[in-house]
Amino acid sequence: MPDAAPGTDGTSDPQGHLVLVVGVGGLRPPEALRAVRGVTDRVSVLFVTAWADPAPLREMFKQEAVSDGEFLEVPDFDGAVDACVALHERLPVQGVVTYSEVLLLPHARIAHRLGLPGNSPESVAIAQSKASQRAAFAAHGVPSPRHAALRGEDDIPAAVEAIGLPAVFKPSLGAGSQNVRRVATVEELAEALHEARSVRGPFLQQDDTFLLEEAMAVEGSGESPYADYVSVESLLFEGRAEHVAVSDRLRLRHGYVEEGLVVPSRLDGTCAAAVVDCAERAIRAVGLTSGAVHTEVALTPQGPRVLEVNARAGGPTPPMLRIAADYPFAAEIARVALGLPPGPPPRFTGVAWFRFIPIPEGTWRIASQATAEETLHRFPELKQLSLRFRPGQTAERRNTQHLASFTVHGDTVDEARATAAAVEDFLAFTLEPVDPPDDGGPGR
């Protein structure tokens, strides 16, 4: 049984002690700290150091003189749970929050151990396993792609027989469409499985299961800038869902590499309602009850079909909702983590257009690109810009799939789209192919 935390006996403290779990992925740690500080001054930081140096955030924590909190550093998931339990004995904790996909498991374990608001470790495990999700969807009648599990090459014949080719290959545990690819032959499937098994992802836990799924026409077509799938952003409080926004997804032109999002959605009320209903059924099937949820839904002639459910906000959506609706999504997630009900839903006054610029297939040297400073100076509508590489560096789809990402604001969709195109042109990426070495491995 979890140990009940003081202050969680049915009442909620608006200045409760909140633990922020960071270290990899999600909102940048400074942005996450500012978001939770907007909800309570009683903040502790739990930094998992397996991926990054905690020093910059530690210095920010000291400079801002966060009251009644501690800055803790731990090497791994088990250390995170133990450190938070010990902290609770010194400074009783009323909530724990993370914005990172990778840190969802320790977050759930901490919440369960201390009796805090949060999803159960079991539901998070399902949310982080696409194979388990598919089983849950089937058990609850949630429409989703046909699939077969792969754990080794011996499973390939049966999977191909069940699903057919071409199909989509993807890891059961993964994020950001990493190692997701279309396969048209048995040989391509075997190659995809071999490559995916050799790649170490950001997760500390492992899952040796992969999926072969029916290929769905989600890439988009014609002159439309949009893909044929959307995302639903939801906020769960005590098991009830507030569906915050539906975001359109940008057309996929580089396989299944993500290319961007737009809020608010172009969908009419009837279509949006069907998508949201499908997302809510999927959320309930997975068993999530608390915090942010990001659900991806395919738009098919037969109706919405769920692609996946994630127990966190969609990567760029918290700042996008701030830009388009002045909605503090990250702060609302922190409120729910403290057991406080969310505020009113967003009211859109503009458009936020988020663009990923994919790395083309292959290995490339960045010959030239505009700087962030000159690009931000040129476009006042540009609200965020992240360049992944510097000129002279080598880019390939290993640690990241994108050359850059940015967000622009517009009063209308057409205005935002035009600005995004102008920003991309101004960045002027020049790529030179890197010849592979004699052994055929990737050039470096």
Percentage of the chain exceeding pLDDT 90: 86
Query: Tokens standing for 170?
Result: 């993807």
All CATH 3.40.50.20 domain ranges in the chain, comma separated: 18-116
Q: What is the pTM of this model?
A: 0.92
All CATH 3.30.1490.20 domain ranges in the chain, comma separated: 146-214
The pLDDT of residue 15 is 82
Confidence of residue 256 (pLDDT cuts 50, 70, 90): very high
182 phi, psi to nearest 5 deg: -85, 135
The residue behind tokens 């902290």 is 87
Which fold is adopted by the domain 18-116? Rossmann fold (3.40.50)
Transcribe 348-385 into DSSP letters. -SSEEEEEEEEPPSS-EEEEE---HHHHHHH-TTEEEE
Please say whether the beta carbons of 339 and 117 come within 8 A: yes
pLDDT above 80 (res 432): yes
pLDDT above 90 (res 59): yes
CATH architecture of 146-214: 2-Layer Sandwich (3.30)
Confidence of residue 201 (pLDDT cuts 50, 70, 90): low
Which class is 226-433 in CATH?
Answer: alpha beta
Q: Picking from 33-37, 123-127, 173-177, which range would have the lowest pLDDT averaged per residue?
A: 173-177
All CATH 3.30.470.20 domain ranges in the chain, comma separated: 226-433
First to last CA, the chain: 52
Q: What is the pLDDT of residues 65-112, one digit of tens each?
A: 666 899 999 999 989 999 999 999 999 999 999 999 999 999 999 999
Task: Find the mean pLDDT for residues 143-164.
Answer: 96
The pLDDT of residue 178 is 77
